[in-house]
Amino acid sequence: MSEYEERLVSSDADGPEEQVIEAALRPKKLDDFIGQHRVREQLSLVLHSALRRGRTPDHVLLSGGPGLGKTTLAMIIAAELGAPLRISSGPAIERAGDLAAILSTLSEGEVLFLDEIHRMARPAEEMLYMAMEDFRVDVVVGKGPGATAIPLDIAPFTLVGATTRAGMLPGPLRDRFGFVAHMDFYDPGELEVIVKRSAGLLDVEIAPDGAAEVAGRSRGTPRIANRLLRRVRDYAEVRADGVITKDLARSALTLYEVDERGLDRLDRAVLASLMRKFGGGPVGLSTLAVSVGEEPETVEVVAEPFLVRQGLLARTPRGRIATPAAWAHLGLTPPPSSPMAALFEIDDGADEER
């Protein structure tokens, strides 16, 4: 097992126990949903005009990274419409029949939330096209030349699809969504509001600068903000009087090895190795991964996106390089011969040397 396995700053969902707490922290109304102003305003118009016309709203596609609030928003959509919500996900729909079973039992106006919609099986996807457009599916009975398609009407419903990979969605599916919302990372001010709100719900006392400290280390992601808050709360209860101040949040997060920019041990190990062992690069992904005792995929998928987003690491055709900001962040000085010239060849495409 990797020594970096348990990541406090992972944006992936938690285990079942933590998910219960996460659910309790979800805002229930559009007005309580913090940040994403443009998405919120546009969505509010879509929903309220449909309500006014007494029709089901257009299908909604939510795209954005894990932990940014897609499930929360789907629940809010159903609540705002006063409609029941059915939840499923792309990977759970392995055959067209799985989807037909869901669609044929929807009640009128129901909201169907399909998480990870880009991972749905192809035949199901094709069935979904017709369902979205005409509220009808063709159920195929029998096999081979004798197979017949029986058309089946389904109740008008609203599909809310969520995807972390909007680019992987086939055009015909994407085009059938009347409203596509792209969810961005949150800025520190918005995360601070989220942290304060969650602290209130968890009955934890937090000073404004304590909330800012947690927010600043949360990698633009509400799920991480809420998780860090819970760990800082533990620390405050055991080591202090339960109140989260700035100093306390700093001490707690230092203990948990999450630094001021939200980097954890793996992130820093990647940067430190790149700088200390390879003079800042360029170095190939596999070599870099071996140097930190990780699989190349872990370094590429887990650590790199955030480091690139932070401007600390760059992918170039000749390999990975540490940027001047990375040297500064780790308090190291680049060697005089450091090939910073490679910076001028930065390539942000994903098809660089592996």
Ligand X SMILES: Nc1ncnc2c1ncn2[C@@H]1O[C@H](COP(=O)(O)OP(=O)(O)OP(=O)(O)O)[C@@H](O)[C@H]1O
State yes or no: residue 22 binds ligand X (CB under 6 A). Answer: yes
Q: How far is CA 181 from the centre of its chain?
A: 14
In the window 47-66, what residues touch ligand X (CB under 6 A)?
66
Which listed residue (57, 210, 220, 222) binds ligand X by CB under 6 A?
Answer: 222
> Which of 58, 115, 264, 267 does the annotation list as catalytic?
115
Is position 71 annotated as part of the catalytic site?
Answer: yes
Is position 115 annotated as part of the catalytic site?
Answer: yes
The region of 1-9, 20-28, 53-61, 282-290 touching ligand X under the rule CB under 6 A is 20-28
> Which of 164, 245, 298, 316 does the annotation list as catalytic?
164
Dist. CA 282–CA 347, nearest whole Å = 12
State in angstroms the smallest separation of the CB of 190 from ligand X.
7
Nearest alpha-carbon partner for 98 in 129, 127, 130 = 127
State yes or no: residue 301 binds ligand X (CB under 6 A). Answer: no
Q: Is residue 22 a contact partner of residue 277, using CB atoms and an 8 Å limit? A: no
Residue nearest ligand X, CB atom distance? 69
Dist. CA 340–CA 272, nearest whole Å = 16
- The residue among 68 and 83 lying less far from ligand X, judged by its C-beta, is 68
State yes or no: residue 26 binds ligand X (CB under 6 A). Answer: yes
> Which of 71, 221, 316, 323 does the annotation list as catalytic?
71
Interface mask toward ligand X for 189-218; x: CB under 6 A:
-----x------------------------
State in angstroms the smallest separation of the CB of 66 from ligand X.
4
In the window 106-135, what residues touch ligand X (CB under 6 A)?
115
Is 227 marked as a binding-site residue?
Answer: no
Is 55 marked as a binding-site residue?
Answer: no
Is position 164 annotated as part of the catalytic site?
Answer: yes
Dist. CA 314–CA 326, nearest whole Å = 10
Check whether the bond before 91 is cis (ω within 30° of 0): no
Is position 95 annotated as part of the catalytic site?
Answer: no
Dist. CA 83–CA 76, nearest whole Å = 10
Is 136 marked as a binding-site residue?
Answer: no
Q: How many angstroms separate the Cα of 224 from the Cα of each of 11, 31, 74? A: 6, 22, 20
- The residue among 18 and 259 lying less far from ligand X, judged by its C-beta, is 18
Is 196 marked as a binding-site residue?
Answer: no
Is position 148 annotated as part of the catalytic site?
Answer: no
> Which of 7, 70, 196, 219 does the annotation list as catalytic?
70
Dist. CA 123–CA 125, nearest whole Å = 5
Q: What residue numbers does the annotated binding site for Mg(2+) cover?
A: 71
Q: Which residues would be at the binding site for ligand X (CB under 6 A)? A: 13, 22, 25-27, 33-35, 66-72, 115, 164, 194, 222-223, 226
Task: Cite the active site residues.
Answer: 70-71, 115, 164, 223
